[in-house]
């Protein structure tokens, strides 16, 4: 039953082929099986079984809530969950239990979804590997043998990507049918690409950020990880929409995304940004990109080269804006209101310093210090204001593609430059260098607020997933997901690993 799509699971529950409780127990067994991969921070077994039991009662009464009723989901551990610890992968919040649900969690529960657990992430979502967590790293299921997990050394395991690596692994292994991630510079699409699942970053303002512990308020977007585009669309339909608790959500109403059996690509113009053909792009990813563009063209789409000239500046711009907003957001962790508190009372200043040095990792502390430097009066215009000007230019690049250059409907790009590196390869560079490399193709869309989706398209010679990204104009999720669904059907990505209870990948 874990191999089914959400649509088929919903139908099976309606037809009483199996119960929501059966499904929940199967996912909990899977979560136990994959413990060596470390995708979960907390497995909410009692809560999940109670929710599944309630779903079964609704199905018996003929009053199911939605297509997600009784379907298992997981939530990245930076979304607040009432009564369930929310740690952000940090010692600072290791015992924090929120009194409320994030809006997206609330909407999932209102739709009847069953929460099986909270998933691992880089500390405060600052990373692209899920290796910088107080709970330890999360490993990719691809290339990982559960029966020999102690034999080859952790440095040879593949990273899951980040910062939503736990969510990607939970979905890829069948421990849940969908999971929430967050996406500030690619943190949903990057792990989705490495783990061979679908990663959806909606338009900024289309999904509420209320209850998502902030990293960069102006770019953070709740993301969705699922095994199929159709599954991701169903979750998107449930969690999207205006939220009075988040003033950045748009008040416009949109029809739900509907994916038909076939898509007519005639008249569609797909752009290939020349700047995304960048140093470090592997030949296998380049070939997959070219072949998929050919598929679209053969099906009737017009494929043309376009230019987004300020793309090379995006990572530098992001580094400044990210660290400025981090410095502002992290000021709340002072040891006084909530979270970790150091045993220092000599002075308030000493309490602040000891609390933050003891409870925050090196990556987080370095971003705070750098951001505060950028925000000094003497540096503000030179760094922050200049970065904001560059951000506007990047956003205008996308507008020029959509409205000029022949009127492009979608962009097709790589998601990541390579397949998932080993932990040893990944940690040989520092966090900033890794993010600059890994987020090159994903980060610009966060600057412009555009929706994007990562789709697995083939396996490399090493049997690792290769994924591509579609980018659309703001609020055009319907078109983007329709074409993504067509691509996923056309390429027929191989069966994911660990979809039966054996002990190897």
Q: Are 450 and 473 in contact (CB under 8 A)?
A: yes
Run of H or E including 23: helix 20-33
Catalytic residue among 67, 90, 187, 482: 187
Catalytic residue among 10, 64, 67, 76: 76
Give the tokens for residue 388.
């904001």
Known active-site residue 60: no
> In terms of DSSP bridges, do strands 72-76 and 178-183 run parallel, antiparallel, or are they unpaired?
parallel
Known active-site residue 304: no
CA-wise closest residue to 228 among 499, 498, 496: 496
Q: Give CA–CA dist 51/85, Å, rounded.
A: 18
Q: Are 271 and 398 in contact (CB under 8 A)?
A: no
Q: Give CA–CA dist 505/370, Å, rounded.
A: 42
Catalytic residue among 90, 133, 163, 240: 163
The sign one gets for the Cα dihedral 422, 427, 429, 434 is: positive
Residues in the chain: 505
Task: Tell me phi and psi for residue 318, to 5 degrees.
Answer: -60, -40
CA 272, chain centre distance (Å): 23
- Ranges of H-type helices in 88-188: 103-110, 165-172
Neighbours of 216 (CB within 10 A): 20
Run of H or E including 356: helix 348-359
| Residue listed under structure tokens 């739709």 | 111
Q: Is 319 exposed, middle or buried (0-12, 13-18, 19+ CB in 10 A)?
A: buried
Q: Where are the beta strands (DSSP E) in 169-301?
A: 178-183, 198-201, 221-226, 269-273
Give the chain's end-to-end CA distance (angstroms, integer). Answer: 18
CA-wise closest residue to 192 among 479, 432, 9, 452: 452
The DSSP code sequence of 296-333 is HHHTT-EEEEE--TTGGGHHHHHHHHHHHHHHHHGGG-
Q: Give CA–CA dist 225/472, Å, rounded.
A: 18
CA-wise closest residue to 163 among 143, 180, 149, 178: 180
CA 282, chain centre distance (Å): 23
Q: Give CA–CA dist 424/184, Å, rounded.
A: 25
Q: Give CA–CA dist 173/187, Å, rounded.
A: 19
Run of H or E including 413: strand 410-414
Give the tokens for residue 303.
């494929």
Known active-site residue 187: yes
Residues tagged active-site: 76, 163, 187
């Amino acid at each position: 039953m874990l191999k089914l799509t959400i649509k088929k699971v919903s139908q099976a529950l309606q037809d009483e082929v199996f119960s929501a409780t059966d499904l929940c127990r199967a996912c909990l067994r899977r979560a136990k099986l994959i413990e060596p991969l470390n995708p979960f921070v907390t497995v909410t077994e009692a809560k999940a079984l109670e929710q599944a039991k309630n779903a079964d009662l609704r199905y018996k009464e003929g009053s199911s809530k939605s297509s997600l009723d009784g379907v298992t989901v997981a939530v990245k551990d930076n979304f607040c969950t009432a009564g369930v610890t929310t740690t952000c992968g940090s010692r600072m919040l290791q015992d924090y239990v929120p009194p409320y649900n994030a809006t997206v969690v609330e909407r999932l529960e209102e739709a009847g979804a069953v929460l099986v657990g909270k998933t691992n992430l880089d500390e405060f979502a600052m990373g692209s590997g899920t290796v910088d967590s107080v709970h330890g790293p999360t490993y990719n299921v691809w290339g990982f043998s559960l029966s020999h997990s102690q034999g080859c050394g952790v440095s040879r395991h593949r990273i899951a990507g980040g910062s939503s690596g736990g969510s990607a692994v939970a979905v890829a292994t069948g421990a849940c049918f969908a999971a929430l991630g967050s996406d500030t510079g690619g943190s949903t699409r990057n792990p989705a690409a490495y783990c061979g699942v679908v990663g959806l970053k909606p338009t900024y303002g289309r999904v509420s950020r209320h209850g998502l512990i902030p990293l960069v308020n102006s770019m953070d977007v709740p993301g969705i990880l699922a095994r199929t585009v159709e599954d991701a669309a169903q979750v998107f339909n449930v969690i999207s929409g205006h939220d009075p608790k988040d003033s950045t959500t748009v008040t416009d109403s949109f029809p739900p995304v509907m994916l038909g059996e076939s898509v007519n690509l005639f008249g569609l113009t797909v752009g290939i940004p020349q700047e995304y053909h960048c140093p470090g792009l592997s030949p296998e990813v380049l070939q997959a990109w070219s072949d998929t563009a050919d598929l679209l063209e053969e099906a009737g789409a017009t494929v043309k080269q376009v230019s987004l000239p300020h793309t090379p500046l995006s990572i530098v711009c992001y580094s400044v804006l990210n660290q400025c907003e981090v410095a502002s957001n992290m000021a709340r962790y002072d040891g006084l209101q909530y979270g970790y508190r150091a045993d220092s009372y000599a002075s308030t200043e000493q309490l602040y310093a000891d609390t933050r040095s003891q409870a925050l990792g090196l990556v987080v502390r370095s971003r705070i210090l750098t951001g505060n430097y950028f925000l000094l009066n003497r540096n503000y215009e030179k760094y922050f204001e200049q970065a904001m000007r560059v951000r506007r230019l990047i956003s205008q690049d996308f507008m020029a593609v959509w409205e000029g250059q022949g009127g492009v409907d979608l962009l097709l790009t790589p998601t990541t430059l390579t397949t998932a590196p080993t932990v040893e390869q990944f940690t040989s560079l520092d966090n900033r260098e890794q993010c600059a490399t890994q987020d090159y193709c994903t980060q610009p869309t966060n600057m412009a607020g555009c929706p994007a989706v990562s789709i697995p398209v083939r396996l490399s010679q090493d049997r690792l997933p290769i994924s591509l990204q579609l980018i659309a104009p703001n609020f055009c999720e319907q078109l983007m997901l329709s074409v993504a669904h067509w691509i996923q059907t056309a390429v027929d990505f191989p069966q994911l690993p660990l979809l039966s209870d054996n002990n190897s990948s």
